[in-house]
Amino acid sequence: MENHVCSNCGFIYTWPRISNAEVSKLYLDGDFSKEARKSTEPDLDKFIQTEQYALERIHHLEKKIPSFFSKAKSCLEIGCGAGSFLWLLKALGHKVIGIEPDSNFVKPVQKRYNIEIETVMFQDYPKGILFDFICNFHVIEHIIDPRAFIKEIYTRLKDDGYIYIECPTIDNIYTGSLDTFFWDVHVNTFSNKTLPWLLESEGFSIIELFMNRGFVSVIAKKGIDKRFKKDNKQRIIDIIKENSKKKTKKSLFSNLNNKLKIRLKKYL
């Protein structure tokens, strides 16, 4: 697979896309947990880490949409992982449900937090159930069809509901190196423009766009306000070129056994 940049909107995506069978094996069969999470189940250190991150996200919600805490809400987290964010929402009185495909990974999560988790892919979760709040953190970069994913979220959100999304952004090479920033399980790479633009193009209005721990975060609701434009392909290429200066051309592409080849090599 190689990374490509869309000439129309500046979105970075891998091609060819992996198959549905490969997606199933990667996430439902536990391969992602083994390779990316480095464990078939979360340990105490993982819980402590994710609880800290969850608390930070709760604080962002308190600041940016304080009305969210005025009454109990129905909340869905897609790709809930160790479940810490749902645990805090539950402690605040909200009704929570998580979706996490890896059944082995979530067993200790359910034992620790006593929260409801469905071990299915999001598109297979029962239709017709609407939520006040839908979130996903470090999920959308793994989704084969992110536009379809956002459409599905829209149909499952109440008219006055909110969404909260966090993911890596090309505007901040959070690993410090392009070698490790472009990762084979990240089939999409968003920018601080392409993520909100995608949401707005599918019927959402952006409440807040902000950075958290080096990642781009968006809080949005259903609406018609449009503030974000498509990104520019040349701007994305310039970011790649600037970050490539931190390493020589040889070292930048020397260790790609399990990494995606960067098609933008010709621009460096």
136 strand-pairing partners: 165
**Cα–Cα nearest to 163, from 126, 200, 119, 114:** 200
When pLDDT is cut at 50, 70 and 90, the band that residue 247 belongs to is low
**Cα–Cα nearest to 192, from 222, 162, 226, 216:** 216
**Residue 137 pLDDT > 50:** yes
When pLDDT is cut at 50, 70 and 90, the band that residue 240 belongs to is very high
**Cβ contacts of residue 201 below 8 Å, gap of 6+?**
none
Average pLDDT over residues 28-39: 84
Distance CA 254, CA 23 (A): 27
Question: What token pair was written down for 207?
Answer: 């409440």
Contact (Cβ atoms closer than 8 angstroms) between residue 10 and residue 171: no
Indicate yes or no: pTM above 0.95. no
AA letter at 9: C
